[in-house]
Amino acid sequence: MPEDFLPFFREDTTVSMISSPAAGDSQACRDSHRDFLFPCLLPLYSEPLVLSSAQGVWVKDLDGKEYLDFFAGILTTSLGHRHPAVLEATRRQMEQLGHISSLYIHPNQVEVARKLAEISPGGLKSCYFTNSGTEAVETAIMLAQMYTGRQEIIVLRLSFSGRSTVACNMTGNVYWRPLPSSAANIKHAMSPFPYRSPFSGSEEELAERFANDIEEVIQTTTNGKPAAFFAETIQGVGGYIVPPRGYFQRAARIIRNYGGLFISDEVQTGFGRTGEKWFGIEHWDVEPDIMVMAKGIANGAPVGATITRPEIAQAWTAKTISTYGGNPVSMAAARATLEVMQQENTPRRSTERGKQLRQGLNALADRFECIGEVRGMGLMQAIELVEDRQRKQPSSAKAMELIEACKKEGLLLGLGGLNGNVIRIGPSMLISPDEVSQGLERLERAFAQCF
Ligand SMILES: Cc1ncc(COP(=O)(O)O)c(C=O)c1O
């Protein structure tokens, strides 16, 4: 190490840091959040939580109250907070080399790409790293347009794709669209949502009716030459909407008949979350042409990835860089996360703990009339709250009341659905049977208080 580097590594070097708020300062934190951050950032709860530390599925707020985390920072701390292997790999990498940019190669990057190719379906082998799901979505859309030489993209209503201009245009939910549509090439087909379906019939029949809508959208709102059909395999923000069996097979067939690609958004459903398989789309026996991932991929480090077949990746001939995409530290987190996922078999764990969770939620549905439906797969389970089971009117007030009561009980949950009436659960996939039981007990107490 050159001599003039040394002063920065002396132990007595005093580092001046802005002091972080001490216990008891949570109100000051909330006030500063209100004063210095965009008001559009809407933390959950009438009195937002200020979190300060965590371990596994347990988080603590600044006032020392402990919560069982059933939402994992939006399905992101897939192995639980501060998983020792991820912590150690990240810390070590930070000490060695913190940044390179995409101008250089780092072994972590290559290893993560290799592992993703190993667990991804079909011939998906070529990877592009970004810092978020939004960027991964954008990369997939641009790539599909370059590969096909076409522009139009079919997406789904009730979807959520992120916060860039294109992703907001793709998002099929008024509450997440701050501006009017500006991308004329994005067309929305029906959400394959059996619980709120305008059609009736068997699962197969519903799958056909919903998939037919994709064809109708192509035939009535495009030039007949779509670049791609893009869909989440379970619509997450939409309220964990699980499409009927057979839908994706038909959807993929339709888009391919019209010469377009099928892009699967696995940002929420990836890495074993839905049980049994690494990716949600594998449940439906369909090989996507492009897949996007983020959230659980690096246990909370900012990583997005777009993976595709090499011949599709080759279509991107213009120059591109990502300053932070593939960063050695976030890649160290992803590498350690993927290793632990393989060792611990997160798909199997999600199946087992998901079954336990689902049983508990079904038991609640037997007792509480305001539960319209329990749905989901693996450790991605939701409860849709309604005013009345017959008429199914969504009740956001009930969902908010329940979320607040759960907070008092020390249980963190998520919200979703167009009307904010769906309780979303998605804890770490390493959650123990006892922790699942504790969460269900807290949820049951909150239900009993509210309804
Ligand atoms: C399915 C899906 N795709 C994309 C995104 C965007 O990801 P990010 O928030 O990392 O930009 C999200 C975020 O919630 C998502 O749920």
CA of 64 to the centre of ligand 1 (A): 30
CA torsion through residues 30, 32, 35, 40, sign: negative
Give residue-wise pLDDT tens across range 255-307.
999 999 999 999 999 999 999 999 999 999 899 999 999 999 999 999 999 99
CA of 10 to the centre of ligand 1 (A): 42
CB 90 within 8 Å of CB 336: yes
Position 142 scores a pLDDT of 98
Question: Residue ranges per domain, the chain?
Answer: 26-82+346-450, 87-344
Calculate the CA 236 to chain-centre distance.
Answer: 7
The C-alpha atoms of residue 296 and residue 251 are separated, in whole angstroms, by 26
Mean pLDDT of 330-334: 98
CA of 300 to the centre of ligand 1 (A): 13
Pocket test for ligand 1, best of 135, 160, 171 (most atoms within 8 A of CB): 160
Residue 1 has pLDDT above 50, yes or no: no
Report the predicted TM-score, pTM, of the whole model to 2 decimal places.
Answer: 0.95
Position 277 scores a pLDDT of 98
Question: If pLDDT is split at 50, 70 and 90, which confidence band does 162 have?
Answer: very high
CA of 55 to the centre of ligand 1 (A): 24
**Residue 151 burial by CB count (10 A; 0-12/13-18/19+): exposed, middle or buried?**
middle
Hey, whose CA ends up nearest to atom 8 of ligand 1? 133
Pocket test for ligand 1, best of 295, 324, 330 (most atoms within 8 A of CB): 295
Mean pLDDT of 177-204: 96
Mean pLDDT of 60-87: 97
Give the pair of three-digit tokens for residue 365: 């549905």
CB 68 within 8 Å of CB 60: no
Residue 422 has pLDDT above 70, yes or no: yes
Give residue-wise pLDDT tens across range 109-136.
999 999 999 999 999 999 999 999 999 9
Give residue-wise pLDDT tens across range 3-31.
443 333 333 333 344 445 555 599 999 99
Question: If pLDDT is split at 50, 70 and 90, which confidence band does 42 have?
Answer: confident
CB 280 within 8 Å of CB 266: yes
CB 239 within 8 Å of CB 395: no
Give residue-wise pLDDT tens across range 305-324.
999 999 999 999 999 999 99
What are the pocket residues of ligand 1 if the criterion is a CB atom closer than 6 Å to any ligand atom?
Answer: 74, 132-134, 137, 160-162, 232, 236-237, 265, 267-268, 294
Alpha-carbon distance values, 359 to 223, 347, 389, 405 (Å): 47, 18, 20, 21
CA of 295 to the centre of ligand 1 (A): 7
What is the secondary structure of 168-212 as a DSSP string? HHH---GGG--S----TTEEEEPP--GGG-S--S-HHHHHHHHHH
Hey, whose CA ends up nearest to atom 3 of ligand 1? 161
Q: Counting atoms of ligand 1 from 1, which one is nearest the CA of 235?
A: 1
Q: Counting atoms of ligand 1 from 1, which one is nearest the CA of 237?
A: 16
Domain 87-344 is in which class?
alpha beta
**Residue 281 burial by CB count (10 A; 0-12/13-18/19+): exposed, middle or buried?**
buried
Q: Counting atoms of ligand 1 from 1, which one is nearest the CA of 294?
A: 10
Q: Counting atoms of ligand 1 from 1, which one is nearest the CA of 295?
A: 10
Pocket test for ligand 1, best of 130, 141, 158, 267 (most atoms within 8 A of CB): 267
Hey, whose CA ends up nearest to atom 7 of ligand 1? 133
Give the pair of three-digit tokens for residue 103: 């101008």
Q: Which fold has domain 26-82+346-450?
A: Aspartate Aminotransferase, domain 1 (3.90.1150)
Hey, whose CA ends up nearest to atom 14 of ligand 1? 162
Position 24 scores a pLDDT of 59
What's the mean pLDDT when you consider all of the chain?
Answer: 94
Hey, whose CA ends up nearest to atom 13 of ligand 1? 162
Position 7 scores a pLDDT of 34
CA of 160 to the centre of ligand 1 (A): 7
Helix residue ranges, H only, 246-292: 247-257
